[in-house]
Copies of this chain bind each other. A is one copy, B any other.
């Protein structure tokens, strides 16, 4: 299923959790203490859930490889993709206050995550003084990201703008070698992307075709080569 090598983890310095992990890992703690706190690079297979709505919160996560989709389902069973997470990004943030996950997080391809347990939060704080402060900043940063996500979405009212903005957004968030070559890999299905963008799969498909004809992108299944970045920016109205 997964085409990319799951072993190619993102570097810690590109991870949102780095400020939280580092004080734990480099502080004056025994190896046992560290391992009790951090659970590093745990693998999960494509299609499996990292957590489900209703699960009690045990940890927050940083994705180190692969792609995760976040799904919210209403009481009628309709599913809404509320976001994707790429390597270096945070998962589980929404559950700290309620102690219960309010979203489904599913591995789109094979993934790995670092886990920071939230159960003994106060204990960790005793061992690592900067922990709470760093967590506060992390969560505030996440609030900002979510505001931005909403703004980016709501400000764009047609398929061209939405898709162009999405491609640019994914490119910006792909902090690896591939993205340097102006190429992104969309591990999720077209349905997932269309759902996220508030479009029908057919509309997404047509818009991709249109961008291809306009020589803006080169589409090869789940891989997307960005040919004309400037044109994409104009389309995104950015």
Binding site for B on A (CB under 8 A): 70, 72, 74-76, 78, 80-83, 93-98, 102-103, 121-122, 125, 132-133, 135-144, 146-151, 153-155, 157, 196, 198, 237-238
**Which residue in chain B gives the minimum CB-CB distance to A238?**
B74
Contacts of A141 in B (CB 8 A): 97-98
Quick check: B78 and A150 within 8 Å, CB to CB? no
A228 to chain B, nearest CB (A): 19
A-B pairs, top 5 by smallest CB distance, nearest first, are A96-B140, A139-B139, A146-B146, A97-B141, A97-B140
**Which residue in chain B gives the minimum CB-CB distance to A103?**
B147
Contacts of A237 in B (CB 8 A): 74, 76, 78
Quick check: A94 and B143 within 8 Å, CB to CB? yes
Contacts of A93 in B (CB 8 A): 140, 143
Known pairs A140-B96, A144-B94, A144-B95; A150 contacts B151 (CB<8 A): no
